[in-house]
Amino acid sequence: MNGARVFVVGGVLSYRALFGWMQPVVYVPTMLGGPLFQILFFAYIGRASGVESDAFFVVGNAIQVTAMAGVFGVAMTVGGERWTQTLSLVLVSPANRFALFLGRALPLIVNGAILSAFGFVVGIAFLDFELAPSVLPALAACVLVTTASCTAFGFIIGSIGLYAREIFVAANLAYIGLLLFCGVNVPLDELPAWMRAISEVLPLTHGVQAARLVADGGTLGSVDGLIVHEAAIGVGYALAAYFLFRAFEAAGRRNATFDNY
């Protein structure tokens, strides 16, 4: 029961600590302005170059922006608490670490799904892109699994924030890396072999592939292999991040570095 309370209440409070102080006039441009201009930018570049259709860029970027919540949100959750010197107060508590860990992920997954939905709305409103109502449930499944996978990947970056002073450079590099390697704006078969090999172990790659097939009229059953692959990658990153979290927590206790910023 206590673990469930830490999971729910701790996660909500952590998310409010990130965004609760923002007025809507600040929050909306911050969270929605980036996805809006990213989707339009790449779609119009695609039109000018004649590489792919608007749908290719809308789906790819609408899925990729989930990493904004997963990567940057996690980095701000951990790095922000260290910056405000509250990290040691959190870690000195006897709270279940697994519940503490996962509780911070749930609001970010919800936020990522909202960003992705907004991305699809942008495509429908401003570009040559349509979605049949029948594909929406399968597309929602693709979005949720991919968002969770990207959030797990973000916790790898966030865990480093327990030990390293600077975390936001790593978060920026991770976000751009997903944009470059995962077939978001360039078809995977057009990438060099070494980039394709890396993309296979990154989150997002298989989620983008699945979402494109679904948006083109595919069923959930036709992409279940891609979704399971995406979920497995997310689970792998979540487990790795958890053990990194515990290792860096132990190192921080030994070296008294939690409040060094």
Contact yes or no for 192/202 (Cβ under 8 A)? no
Q: What is the pLDDT of residues 60-82, one digit of tens each?
A: 999 999 888 888 877 777 666 66
Q: Return the higher-pLDDT residue of 157 and 205.
A: 205
pLDDT single digits (tens) 151-186: 889 888 888 777 776 777 888 888 899 999 999 999
Helices (H), the chain: 2-5, 11-19, 24-28, 34-49, 54-64, 66-67, 73-83, 87-91, 97-103, 106-126, 136-160, 168-181, 193-199, 205-215, 224-255
Residue 139's pLDDT is what? Answer: 95
Please identify which residue in the block is written with the tokens 């997954």. 109
